[in-house]
Structure 1
Amino acid sequence: MSDSNEETRRDERLAAAWRAAATTLTRGPREATVGECLARLAEGPYAYDMDAPADIYGDGIVEELERRVAELLGTQDAAFFPSGTMAQQVALRCWAGRTGNPVVALHPMSHPEMWEGDALSTVSGLRVVHPTTEPRQPTPEEVAAVREPFGTLMLELPLREAGFLLPTWEELVALVEAGREREAVIHFDGARLWESTVRFGRPLPEIAGLADSVYVSFYKSLGGLSGAALAGPRDFVEETRVWRHRYGGQIFRQFPQALSALAGLDRELPRLPSYVAQARMVAGALREAFAASGVPWSRVHPEEPHTHQFQVWLPHDPDRLTDAGLRQAEETGTVLFRRWSAGGPPGLAVTEVDVTGPGLSWTESDVHEAVSAFVSRI
């Protein structure tokens, strides 16, 4: 059997094991079937008039979603986008036009640099500079030391690839001030901004109020089907709607995405602080369990999670660890870790841990037992 066939077979086993597991820290988007997604969408109840006409080109329920987002973030307006990639491309392009400077200062581990196929330069004609290449948030001193003018400072909150890292509130304020001292506008990549209130100790409007524009996702923390929003001043958001049309984002009908996003705002958003608290318990229990298990070295990063997601590092081959987690899921019905990769520090495998509703029932003892079962299969 070829390597590609073996990989496909393992992917199928992983998906089947995750779906069948009775005990898990989260339910991933790859586990749901089409039928399950449809059933969940039809569940209700919704705080929206289901007898209202279906949307056409962004009216109706889409406008209601935009209103809710602007209200939650304390901005003048918000625009729905079919994807975060499109939303951020449009935001950064609009700011470049307004500032007259096509240079964007951002982290090399941020989403536009890692996952968008060089779209900033290829599609939008923008150029980037990196205040730092270290796997952490930049410092105000590094922003101040960038050697050329830049029109926009983009901050990813949290910085996912580095371990879902957030600055402290004081550090964030200083970063924004450093950007403004460089006469740059501030854009927050807030795909996961919803759960940042715990770390910052501030409400969403105060956090979003530091920036000139904010992007938020509806599926990465809220469990929506897809979609994103750009929020900011009314004239800026109106301009982004023009570019949304030009980029192909003026979609005829979007009520499934809008309805699931509204459900996420109603049901998941209030629960996110409890997920963060539980993730911190799980992280501490993982450290203790690995120390007691005989594993020569391990790390939970960051030591106290900044959100409900964090990384675990182990000095083993990532395929070996993925297979161990697969066997644990198949044999015990418990999913502790999912996929591992070599994307961490040299010689270490890394995985992301996500704690949501299904993980709220876990105790420290449950984590210890799951780690013991996992380690025995490495």
Structure 2
Amino acid sequence: MAANYRILEAFNRTRYQLTGHGKRNVQVLKEAFELLEGSLDSDIYGNGNIIEDFQNRLAEILGKESAVFFPSGTMAQQIALRIWSDRKVLHKVAYHPLSHLEIHEKDGLKELHHIQPILIADKDRPVVLDDVLNLKEDISCLLLELPQREIGGQLPAYEDLEAISAYCRGKGIKLHLDGARLLEVCPYYEKSPAEICRLFDSVYISFYKGIGAIAGAILAGETSFTEESKVWKRRHGGDLISLYPYIVSADYYMDLRLPRMKQYYEDAKELAQLYNQCEAVTTRPPVPVSNMFHVHVRLPRDKMEAILVGIYEATDIGFTSHLRVVDEESCYFEVSIGDQYGCIPSDQIAHAFQQLRKEIAACQ
């Protein structure tokens, strides 16, 4: 932890940072509220124009009958899987071994909803049609994450998605989309959000990842599904008296950043190419399929940290704030492109990578 604290401090001191939209501070909220009239009414327990208009807007973007705003994606997705499981009276769902529900939610699905996860596919790749065809157990719902964050944001082929969707509908299996970063993959698939979502019975998207709002999520589907989700939202304590700070920031940054997703994707491919030109460095995937990817380095974490901190201090450019250990001889970090990358002079980026190549080569 001390090592990562050191790199975090050095990263925060840099003038330019290759990832993200900038610091998550009060200014994020102040900017979203700046042009709003002070007399604008808040929502009250899920009702009011400010929340209803936003939900209707997102339902239209996603091509679904209706949508519900949730304070968190963890809450929204557990509720979605609970609804589909109850309707089929079958409390088994399938998803990838590195799904957020499996590795980041403290067994919430099992402990709160008594739903049994069936893990499918290898850890190192996305779910494909053969994985679904080879399921040995009956399930009520299949969850697919697009992109699969824990393996660098990899994606299945769109044709595979279509085939999985058709198979699930034929078998009466509900298909749920963990679309936390759905908007970020549309440029790669060359599809609108609605075109992708038509393959799924329900969909969740996040507002604090690629969009960069303060928090919040949308769960969308047919009206009977979303109305039932509102009941579970109340049971989970998600019906705060007002959610308008989350909604205002989500609405503002959707307008600002949704049109920029293609540029983030192009920037990610450019940046990945720079990393792949460094000795002992590879990106996963080799060519990004969204604005995110992982950078793997064949050096111990402590050695890589020392290199990066030195480069940060010499160039005023930060690559990452955190390194994760793969084993004693290698480490990796996640890259997620946002507004900041395009603000950095290209000659300074080139100089920083020249230093990175030099320092890594010296360690080989």
TM-score in terms of structure 1 length: 0.89
Following superposition of structure 1 onto structure 2, how do residues 111-260 of structure 1 map, counting pairs within 5 Å? 111-260=100-249
3-state SS of paired residue (2:175) = strand
CA distance in 1, matches of 2:29, 2:170: 49
Q: Distance in 1 between matches of 2:332 and 2:73?
A: 25
Cα pair distance change 1:50/1:323, threshold 3 Å = farther
Preserved CA contact (<8 Å) 2:94 2:117: yes
Quote the residue 1:39 is aligned against. Answer: 30
Shift of 1:97: 0.7
Task: Assess if the C-alpha contact under 8 Å between 1:191 and 1:217 holds in 2.
Answer: yes
1:78 aligned partner: 67
CA deviation digits over 1:252-306, x for unaligned, max 9? 1211111000012100111111100111111112212x0xxxx3x2211111101
User: How many percent of aligned residue pairs carry the same amino acid?
Assistant: 32
1:224-243 deviation digits (Å, cap 9, x = unpaired): 10010100001100000000
User: Using a 3 Å threshold, how does the CA distance of structure 1 residues 14 and 32 change in structure 2: closer, same or farther?
Assistant: farther
Cα distance in structure 1, aligned partners of 2:323 and 2:106: 23
2:328 aligned with 1:339: no
Displacement, 1:100? 1.6
Report if aligned partners of 1:153, 1:184 keep a CA contact under 8 Å in 2.
yes
Residue 94 of structure 1 aligns to which amino acid in structure 2? I
| 1:316 alignment counterpart | 299
SS at match of 2:240: coil
Question: Take 1:93 and 1:323, find their aligned partners in 2: how far apart are those partners?
Answer: 47
> Per the alignment, in what secondary structure is the counterpart of residue 98 of structure 1?
helix
| Alpha-carbon shift at residue 20 of structure 1 (Å) | 3.5
Cα separation, partners in 2 of 1:338 and 1:375, compared to 1, 3 Å: farther
Question: Which residue of the partner structure matches residue 43 of structure 2?
Answer: 55
Distance 1:27 1:157 in 2: 19
The 1-side partners of 2:358 and 2:124 are apart by 32
> Is the CA contact (8 Å cut-off) linking 1:155 and 1:188 kept in structure 2?
yes
**Deviations 1:67-117 (Å, cap 9, x if unpaired)?**
111111111100011111000010000010112211111001111011001
Change (3 A) 1:52 1:32: closer
How much does 1:184 deviate?
0.6
> Unaligned stretches of 5+ in structure 2?
none
CA distance in 2, matches of 1:50, 1:205: 34
In the alignment, what sits opposite 2:284? 301
Report the 3-state secondary structure (helix = DSSP H, G, I; strand = E; otherwise coil) of the residue aligned with 1:123: helix
CA contact (8 A) 2:315 2:348 kept: no
Single out whichever of 55-64 and 363-372 deviates more from structure 2. 363-372
Secondary structure of residue in 1 paired with 2:294:
strand
SS in 1 for 2:142: strand
Does structure 1 conserve the Cα–Cα contact (< 8 Å) formed by 2:325 and 2:332? yes
Report the CA distance shift for 1:257/1:14 in structure 2 as closer, same or farther (over 3 A).
farther
1:159 CA displacement: 0.4
Aligned CA distance change for structure 1 residues 323 and 260 (closer, same or farther; 3 Å): farther
Question: 8 Å contact 1:132–1:138 — kept in the other structure?
Answer: yes
Higher relative contact order (CA 8 A, sep 6+): 2
* Alpha-carbon contact 2:8-2:322 (below 8 Å) kept: no
Cα distance change on mapping 1:17 and 1:39 into 2, 3 Å:
farther
Give 5+ residue unaligned stretches, structure 1.
none
Q: 1:331: Cα distance to partner?
A: 3.5
Over 3 Å counting, the alpha-carbon distance change for 1:134 and 1:252 in structure 2 is same
Q: Distance in 1 between matches of 2:345 and 2:134?
A: 46
In 2, the alpha carbon distance for the partners of 1:205 and 1:350 equals 34
1:356 to 306, 314, 338: 338
Shift of 1:340: 1.3
Return the offset for 1:363: 7.0
Query: CA 1:280/1:75 → structure 2, altered by over 3 Å: closer, same or farther?
Result: same
Once the two structures are TM-superposed, the CA of residue 124 in structure 1 deviates from its matched residue by: 1.0
CA contact (8 A) 2:20 2:337 kept: no
* Contact persistence 1:191–1:220 (CA under 8 A): yes
CA contact (8 A) 1:70 1:231 kept: yes
| Separation of aligned partners in 2, 1:50 and 1:234 | 32
Listed as ranges, the matches of 1:86-125 within 5 Å are 86-125=75-114
For 2:87 and 2:20, how far apart are their aligned partners in 1? Answer: 42
- The yes-or-no answer on 1:18 pairing with 2:11 is yes
Residues 1:236 and 1:338: Cα distance change in structure 2 (over 3 Å): same
For 1:256 and 1:221, locate their aligned partners in 2 and report how far apart those are by CA, in whole Å: 18
Give, in whole Å, the separation in 2 of the partners of 1:301 and 1:139: 18
Aligned residues: 359
